[in-house]
Amino acid sequence: MAEVNNKNPKTPKYSPEEIEEMKKKTQEKIHKMNDSPYTYAILMETSGEEFESWYSFIRYQGNEEALEHLQNQLKKVDWEIIDDISTFDLEMDYLVSERTAKEMSKVDLNPYSFHRKFDGKLKKIDLRIDGVRSNTKKMSRIFDTLGYGGIEKFIDGEDEDPEDINGDDTDEDETSEEESSEEEEETSSEEDEEDSKKVSKKKTHSHHDRHRSRSKKSQRKEKKSKKPIEIPRFAKAKKH
């Protein structure tokens, strides 16, 4: 029986045995996709900050018009890596099978996020770049709309399995202990230098330290505080 994650009651926490059983059932479901009539376009987001590319597999059937509208807008930009702005590309010439899309959503390659598969209805997206002459401004506006998995705001029906959203507080607990230890060490050092003072200062991690030690959930919260745009959740954020 799955336990309830106390820090996030909505996220179940499964035992290793339960997760293994779920994975077997998922594999069985994947094998049955060989005869699926559906194909998928691929929206690729490449993050200049995370140095990763994330694929969103979007069902083509039923979304043809919305995908074509999105493609026509993305083609108006001369894409390049600028600071923390992501670049976007939409593959519609070579659609992939449902089994391929599902299998790609399971591979464990990126530290920040899994690839994702959507089976729902895609809304018609206005990227607000008509009449904009600056290429950088076009990129910025598109990033404000689609950055960090923002496509999820415009489509439903994400295909995710229970084992993909298993709750785990281990990383956050370890980070708290690590920060407490660093705080004590720094305080002790300052007390040695100035006997009359007792200073407790929290040491700030570098971006790369945070990337290794913190859960992906806390990383997303951190990015939300750093950027003026709303960062959507990553439903399949991984734990390393």
Mean pLDDT of 94-104: 95
Closest CA to 211 of 220, 203, 219: 219
- With a CB cutoff of 8 Å and minimum separation 6, the contacts of 168 are 5, 13, 215, 239
Of 8-22, 128-142, 196-210, the poorest mean pLDDT is in 196-210
Closest CA to 223 of 84, 80, 54, 29: 84
Q: What is the pLDDT of residue 186?
A: 57
Q: What is the pLDDT of residue 52?
A: 93
Q: Express each pLDDT in 203-239 by its tens digit.
A: 333 333 323 223 343 344 344 334 444 444 443 444 4
Sign of CA dihedral 216, 221, 227, 228: positive
